[in-house]
Homo-oligomer: A and B are copies of this chain.
């Protein structure tokens, strides 16, 4: 069966006795040819190990089968997980996902968008850097490519899918207040809209419950959240400047660092007798169950967000008309009670 390999569709047409347009039709949509023909083609394709030239294909198609995925930081477990789910859905739907990470840098986000744009993708799913984004560039991109924004609600694209921070923060603040001392809120300089929404949600919930909001903002930025949690946690502990013995972190990665700081200072973390600090997070990152103690947090609905983002994008692509209205979909968080708070 190891016949010489065939490199063009024309050659395949010759050796298989099938016309080239029919082959072309088949590769565009295997179901568009008769069953008998389909099988004949499949046999020939395998026999001659033929694969269409991606570049030639996309040169003439108005719409490629490429779906761009752009995330701000690919090693962040939240995004890593999102990417995995999104990729899977795209492949299953016959699309060709291609992933870019901005690695936390505006320059690289712009590069990714420019590169992606020149690939003329059918659509894109992007989680912008947020505050670090070059808004003009992102907007220009979305003017050209059907785009769904997820996680960080930058006001561009045909839609947004994310978490309902108001609800999820409300949930955990309520829990923390009911089970002990009302929490203070630990955050760094906000890097994206989520961070702001979470702080605001914290403040509002505390006020609703009749407590004084206590926001501890440290003047740090970047994507090394754990390191910030550790360093600043050490400082706050040394200065004894934490306004509460219950600390709600703006996200799990910050909490991971803070827990490390507590440990290194000999402070027992947890909700049980003998513990002097309660620490909670937000997101339910994959590693949050492995902290010591395991982290109490609010889970974002990863699956729903990924699923819905992709569905929304496919709808827009298939509609072939830019949605007249930017849709926003928010999923609710669920409380995950572990040992830390």
- Is A84 at the interface (CB under 8 A from chain B)? yes
A84–B103 CB distance below 8 A = yes
A99–B96 CB distance below 8 A = no
Which of B58, B59, B120, B290 contacts A226, CB < 8 Å?
Answer: B290
B103–A54 CB distance below 8 A = no
A55 partner residues in chain B, CB cutoff 8 A: 54-56, 58-59, 120
Bound: A257/B289 CA distance, A: 9
Task: Tell me how many chains of this kind the complex includes.
Answer: 2
Which of A119, A286, A290 counts the most B-chain CB atoms under 10 A from its CB?
A: A290
Contact flags A274-295 to B (C-beta < 8 A → 1, else 0): 0000000000001101111110
Report the interface size for chain A: residues with CB under 8 A from the other chain: 48
Bound: A291/B56 CA distance, A: 51
Bound: A54/B226 CA distance, A: 39
A78 CB to nearest B CB, Å? 10
Which of A88, A257, A291 counts the most B-chain CB atoms under 10 A from its CB?
A: A291
Which of A75, A227, A263 counts the most B-chain CB atoms under 10 A from its CB?
A: A75
- Is A77 at the interface (CB under 8 A from chain B)? yes
A207 CB to nearest B CB, Å? 33
Bound: A172/B91 CA distance, A: 43
- Is A259 at the interface (CB under 8 A from chain B)? yes
New contact pairs (14) apart from A99-B99, A99-B100, CB-CB < 8 Å: A51-B118, A52-B118, A56-B59, A74-B80, A75-B75, A75-B80, A75-B84, A84-B101, A84-B103, A230-B289, A260-B290, A260-B294, A263-B292, A287-B287
